[in-house]
Amino acid sequence: MSETKVDDMLIEMIEPKIKEIEQRFSDGEGLTQDDINTLLLKSQYNHINHLDDKLNEVTASVIGLEGKFNILEGGFNTLEGKFELLKTDIESKFDILEGKFELLKTDLESKFELLKTDLEGKFDLLKTDIEVTIQKALNKNMLVLVAAMGFFLTLSKLIDKF
């Protein structure tokens, strides 16, 4: 706290009395209760001024600390903002990746479905080819069997005639 005009006026008012008391004390005279009270008043006033100076120092220090804390708070707020941006950026990248994986999954599922359909068609065709081949083999064997039976029947008739 800074001194006021009233403070200065008080000092000016008691200063002549203080000098008078000091002079009388130097001359070996005793002090009256008023003299002691005046000296105590000056002492207390000096003490109050000293405390005011210390209070000014502490106040300035607190103001400085508040400034530093405000700077620190600003730094933390900036850092928090950067972390929020980073979080948002990472979340958006994960969303993009998730979308890409969904597309890839859908693409793979459709390719597997096409492969399944293609394999089923080929197996059906192979089954049909095998059935046709078996049918041809059966028909050929039946023809050979009927021809062989006809040949043996004809041969046995010829043998019976002779």
Question: Where residue 2 falls among pLDDT bands split at 50, 70, 90?
Answer: low
Asked whether residue 52 is assigned to any structural domain, the reply reads yes
In a domain, 156, yes or no: no
Task: Kindly report, residue by residue over 89-144, the tens digit of the pLDDT.
Answer: 999 999 999 999 999 999 999 999 999 999 999 999 999 999 999 999 999 999 99
Distance CA 162, CA 157 (A): 9
Establish if 153 belongs to a structural domain. Answer: no
Q: Has residue 3 got a pLDDT over 60?
A: no
For residue 73, tell me if it sits in a domain: yes
152 assigned to some structural domain: no
Residue 159 lies in a domain: no
In a domain, 59, yes or no: yes
Domain of residue 46: give its range.
Answer: 5-121
Q: What is the pTM of this model?
A: 0.46
Number of compact structural domains in the chain: 1
Neighbour-count burial for 126-151, b at 16+ CB within 10 Å, e otherwise: eeeeeeeeeeeeeeeeeeeeeeeeee
Residue 2: phi and psi, rounded to 5, are: -90, 155
Give the pLDDT band (50/70/90) at residue 5: low
Integer Cα distance of 155 and 48 in angstroms? 153
* Any domain includes 14: yes
Cβ(1)–Cβ(57) under 8 Å? no
1, pLDDT greater than 60: no
The contacts found for 47-54 with CB under 8 angstroms, 24 or more apart, are 49/3, 49/7, 52/1, 52/2, 52/3
Map tokens 């006026």 to a residue. 9
